Structure 1
Amino acid sequence: MSGVQPCNPVQGIEKLVSELKMPKTDLQGLDKGELSTVTLSWEKMKDKNWFQDTDIFRCTAQQSEVDFLVHSVIHHSSRPTLENVISILLINQEPLVSMMFKRKDDWPFPEYLGSCGRLAIFEYIGPSIAAHYSSSWPLRAYFAVQLLQLAKRFSKPDKTGLVIYPTDWTAHNFAVDEENRVYLVDLEGIILVNQSIIREKKAPGWDTYYTADRFGCTNCFSFSTADLCTHAESDHNYHGVCGGLLAPQPYSPGLAGGLLHSVPRNILARHPLLPRLLDECWKSSKPGGREEAADLIIEILRSELVDLDLQNLT
């Protein structure tokens, strides 16, 4: 059409970065020789709906979170630019999550290796948990312990005040490496919540423990983003791991009977409360009930794994 200028995505991103870029004045990273001098302005980003609609900025985003993101990314070994940061943020947040929560800091995520256009490359961890459906019960119990510990770690603020809420707790999103360690490998559906900001603002109901109530959805995983964003504590992750993976009728396809199916009779004899605890971890509506059940399940499963060579279980 006459008079219409052609769209150049590269120039568009460069122009957007020039609008959002600003100097960074704090000394984050100085002790590691990773001082960053530029960041992106959240005041300007939040005026653009594109950024507010991304999961990692959906809740209580602040300038400090943007600084953490930029600092983590520009010092990553793949050396992304601010243009890359903006492009990835608008297309697929998975590389950013991997770069913010690094393997070297013991986060259970695959390492991001780099991108070419829309193609992002991550390390291969191994087969999914679903592929271990017929593995020995001790091995599946070991996976269950790791999944529950993962839910606990994600639910507690790290040094930045952030908690991690995955929104798709299905078996195919978790993989196992050669040493039987469990990783979350699908990083697209992750909501980050800054609980430090929630505690500072003290909005009505902020300190009420938020219990996921399944919203009338009996056999599926549902959640309220608004509630996750406004409460300082939630059992969302316990609901996800127990209801999605460990329950006798889990939400996740490919795990009939749950990851802990076919519990040996001698173990049930020693721990007759295990089935009830699995049910509580899935369905409890008592504030903190799911977390309490999860802690007891971990204790039981660990007692059955003592003296086993966990890395070589099959």
Structure 2
Amino acid sequence: MRRRKTWLVYGSLLLILLIVFCWPQKLDDNFLELSTCPACYGQGLCPAVNENEYTGTPKINLVGFSKWKIMKLINVKNVYYGQSNSMPVVLKKLAHDSELHEYNTKLCKANKEGDNCDVSLAIKSVLARNSLNIAQVINRYPHIFETSEGVKCNHNRSLYNLYENYMNIDSGPYQQHHFITMLAVNMEPLILNAFRDGWFPALHGMCGRVMVEEYIGPTLTELGHTPWHARADYARQLIEMAQDFSSGKFLLYMTDVSLDNFAVNSNGKVKLIDAENIVLVDPAVDGLDHSEHINEGFGCRDCLSFSYEDLCGHVMADHNFFAVCKGMLSSHAFSRDLPSGLLHDPPGWVRKEHPRLMSLIEECARPESHTSIVPQRRQAAAALHTQLMQVLHKLGRA
């Protein structure tokens, strides 16, 4: 009799779980967390996202496993897939639920309230007390931004560049509130909007605490065993990305180079699909060291070690080349899924005609702090790029 009651209890619990979680997930006010606004990412895309807004705008629909509520239990990254006018898109909440809760708590603290305050009112109060001055808020409440890569250097011009570009897509009364929230939680939408140079997905917009961006395609992890010539072209593009990010008006240093963070579109173009972990540097800031900072790989052998102080304090650094070569191309790459690197197992004719190609990868990747020789990482990366171009040209793919 007791066993039967136990089975009835378990059966009832299972039935409740099935009813609650095996049910279509709606893109409604609750999912979008609209009650937190303006402590959210924006509301410009809500007519196309929010199912509760009845407009003539075509709606974005969740697809695949993303459309079931059970994904809330297992989707800790809060990344969902959908369709917009038959085009695939990605919906991101930009943080784990626990991280979003932590941001709420920090806002409440800044407003001298309890942990469960109304964040929609708290952020209005915080900004009003600081005359809507974003720089003042950043300096006065550093605890709100302690996990943000965007303010590690706190170079005013680079932050203003993000804000100036953001004003082009959000002209509403709460643009500062939305900007502060994204800068504190995850600045990916700000990066995608400000740097439209082809290395990032296209940004569709934001609604509540959800951003929508272009779906690119399979990640480099998934493409790690495609034909070598295709991987050679991906490597060529990664080196070009490192070069572009390391020069120009503002410098972007990648601090998370997992192969899962890069994807390839239908035209073979490599793009960075996770732009949260980027350090922004303004090389025009007075007082920076004009020598090149060399990333010597201190701290660990199998991870990307770096110093914010060094990246922020120099007008140039070889960090991105180290990140690409050591993190993804080297025969001792960081990736657990592809530990032998993206260019593993080159064809015999490549080894014969380009005997230095594989050694150039290691020259670019190898920290040389144990010697008195200054690493020539940029030169090794440039030589590697040249050899990859020669290979691709011979194959008719350059």
CA distance in 1, matches of 2:365, 2:166: 36
The residue matched to 2:279 in structure 1 has which SS? strand
TM-score normalized by structure 2? 0.65
1:118 to 202, 209, 215: 209
The residue that corresponds to 1:35 in the other structure is none
CA contact (8 A) 1:284 1:290 kept: no
The residue that corresponds to 1:12 in the other structure is 122
2:263 to 166, 175, 184: 175
1:275 to 339, 354, 358: 358
The residue that corresponds to 1:150 in the other structure is 241
- Paired residues, number: 279
- Cα deviation for residue 234 of structure 1 reads 1.1
Encode CA deviations 1:251-297: one digit per residue, 9 max, x unaligned: 12211321111111111111111122111000053545111100001
- Cα deviation for residue 11 of structure 1 reads 1.4
TM-score normalized by structure 1? 0.82
CA contact (8 A) 2:299 2:305 kept: no
The residue that corresponds to 1:238 in the other structure is 321
Letter in 1 for 2:261: N
CA distance in 2, matches of 1:180, 1:60: 35
The residue matched to 1:306 in structure 2 has which SS? helix
Give the percent of matched residue pairs that are identical in Structure 1 and Structure 2.
Answer: 30
CA contact (8 A) 1:17 1:86 kept: no
The residue that corresponds to 1:25 in the other structure is none
Letter in 2 for 1:241: V
2:310 to 221, 227, 238: 227
CA distance in 1, matches of 2:158, 2:224: 39
Letter in 2 for 1:169: V
The residue matched to 1:114 in structure 2 has which SS? strand
Letter in 2 for 1:66: L
CA contact (8 A) 1:60 1:194 kept: no
- Cα deviation for residue 116 of structure 1 reads 2.8
CA distance in 2, matches of 1:265, 1:10: 62
CA distance in 2, matches of 1:266, 1:78: 57
CA contact (8 A) 1:125 1:176 kept: yes
CA distance in 2, matches of 1:260, 1:78: 46
2:272 to 175, 180, 184: 184
Encode CA deviations 1:148-206: one digit per residue, 9 max, x unaligned: 00001111132xxx200111111000000000000011111111111110xx224xxx1
The residue that corresponds to 1:95 in the other structure is 189
Which stretch of structure 1 is more off in the superposition, 282-291 or 211-220?
Answer: 282-291
1:299 and 2:299 aligned: no
CA distance in 1, matches of 2:292, 2:159: 27
1:201 and 2:287 aligned: yes
Seen in structure 2, the aligned counterparts of structure 1 residues 171 and 118 have a Cα distance that, compared at 3 Å, is same
Letter in 2 for 1:15: S
- Structure 1 runs not aligned, ≥5 long: 23-39
CA distance in 1, matches of 2:348, 2:158: 49
Encode CA deviations 1:214-248: one digit per residue, 9 max, x unaligned: 11422222111111111122111111000011001
- Structure 2 runs not aligned, ≥5 long: 1-112
CA distance in 1, matches of 2:267, 2:395: 13
CA contact (8 A) 2:295 2:317 kept: yes
1:70 and 2:163 aligned: yes
The residue matched to 1:214 in structure 2 has which SS? coil
Encode CA deviations 1:73-99: one digit per residue, 9 max, x unaligned: 121279772221122222221111111
Give the root-mean-square deviation of aligned CA atoms. Answer: 2.3
1:56 to 131, 137, 150: 150
Higher RCO (CA < 8 A, seq sep 6+): 1
CA distance in 1, matches of 2:252, 2:242: 9
- Cα deviation for residue 137 of structure 1 reads 0.9
Which stretch of structure 1 is more off in the superposition, 284-293 or 78-87?
Answer: 78-87
| 1:246-265 equivalence runs, <5 A | 246-265=329-348
1:217 to 288, 297, 300: 300
**Rg comparison, structure with higher value:** 2
CA contact (8 A) 2:152 2:279 kept: yes
**Deviation above 6 Å: which 4+ runs of structure 1?**
77-80
The residue that corresponds to 2:66 in the other structure is none
